[in-house]
Amino acid sequence: MEQVRLGMIGYKFMGKAHSHAYRDLPMFFPKTAKPVMKAICGRDAQGVQQAAKQFGWESWNTDWRELVQRDDIDLIDINAPSDAHKEIALAAAAAGKHVFCEKPLALTLADSREMLQAVEVAGVKHMVGFNYRFAPAVQLAKKLITEGRLGQIYHFRAWFLQDWIVDPAFPLVWRLQKEIAGSGSHGDLGAHLIDLAHFLVGGMTEVIGMNETFIKERPLPSSMTGLSAKGSNDAPKGPVTVDDATLFMARFESGALGSFEATRFAPGHRCTNAFEINGSKGSVKFDFERMNELQVYFTDDADDVQGFRRVLATDPSHAYADAWWPPGHTIGYEHTFIHETVELMQAIAEGRQPVPNFADGVKCQQVLEAVDWSIEQRRWVRIEEL
């Protein structure tokens, strides 16, 4: 398949990120299947029409059911709020469309399993949007682990810290409402940490966690886009029904130990998505705010030069780097989506399932829900219980 014709549902934060990826992919990765941006969909006619023009889509509409049934579309991209993922994905699979869905896959583990079953029965390609896997520095960490250069892995510790809702006057956006988002920092930020752990270290056997909602009520918004919103202090308030912060510990199938922290109440941290991995032969450290760098330490270095070294993952030997700029010329957040889209387009062209796919989404959802069980029941929960 030389082209993949796209229909996208959602046009705000993630809609812009996905659209940018589809537009840039043919310029930098010309050997893969070309995404053709056929139609974009959203509930607000004026907003989605403007997005179609700005992002470069051929057409637009306000009914996703019509979009799913179009004969000139091969793949449905779902980046609408989380409560819409399941219904759209099931309809897309039933219509024989490939499906690319943002994370978390669904509001519940049961729903995510139903979505996986639907795409498997339909025989379509499916992918879930864990874009941070596709940073070249993260790919380098994976390479070092796979090749055994860090030895036996002992620890995986990760933290995703943000501060955009610290102000109690920040409005009650949809991400703070459980019926729409499913959960707060846990499902939004923690899901990325869980997927990185699965990608780098492997599956988990048991978890124990705790969480907190620091601000119980917030003003209702007058408008919202992505991670921003408008409102007034004298507006009526509504309850915050998700966690502001969730922490948990885990044991991995390999015997490694893990610790995870996801919070939106860390002043000074705009997007500190970071992890450290310690093994018998060395360690790596990564922070997305310095996404082109991987800190690497090997125990067999000479005593007089022991210490972490800064590796700039921009040389052609690093994943995806040969498509971009000369060494040292860094890339940014948007490139993780382009690399993600490369995997999606290549998989469809080659007739294989892309990675990560809905099975990975279910695996992540299983850990998310196990942590929730642990918090509710105040005990260690084994993943196999769910």
| Residue spans of alpha helices (H) in the chain | 13-28, 45-55, 64-69, 85-94, 109-122, 136-146, 178-181, 185, 191-200, 333-350, 358-377
Give the list of residues 6+ apart from residue 349 with CB closer than 8 angstroms, or none: 1, 2, 4, 32, 33
* Domain 136-290+292-331+364-377 falls under CATH 3.30.360.10: yes
pLDDT score recorded for residue 1: 59
Q: Is the pLDDT of residue 138 over 70?
A: yes
Using one digit for the tens of pLDDT, what is the confidence trace for 259-276?
999 999 999 999 999 999
Average model confidence (pLDDT) across the chain = 96
**pLDDT tier at 222, thresholds 50, 70, 90:** confident
pTM for the structure as a whole = 0.95
Using one digit for the tens of pLDDT, what is the confidence trace for 20-52?
999 999 999 999 999 999 999 999 999 999 999
Q: Is the pLDDT of residue 115 over 90?
A: yes
CATH of 3-131, one of 3.30.70.590, 3.40.50.720, 3.40.140.10, 3.30.470.20: 3.40.50.720
287: left (phi over 0), alpha (psi -120 to 50) or beta: beta
**pLDDT tier at 294, thresholds 50, 70, 90:** very high
pLDDT score recorded for residue 235: 83
pLDDT score recorded for residue 370: 98
Q: What percent of the chain has pLDDT over 70?
A: 98
Mean pLDDT of 222-227: 70
Using one digit for the tens of pLDDT, what is the confidence trace for 342-385?
999 999 999 999 999 999 999 999 999 999 999 999 999 999 99
Query: Boundaries of CATH 3.30.360.10 in the chain?
Result: 136-290+292-331+364-377
Using one digit for the tens of pLDDT, what is the confidence trace for 163-184?
999 999 999 999 999 999 889 9
Q: Is the pLDDT of residue 226 over 80?
A: no
Query: Boundaries of CATH 3.40.50.720 in the chain?
Result: 3-131
What secondary structure letter does DSSP report for 62? S
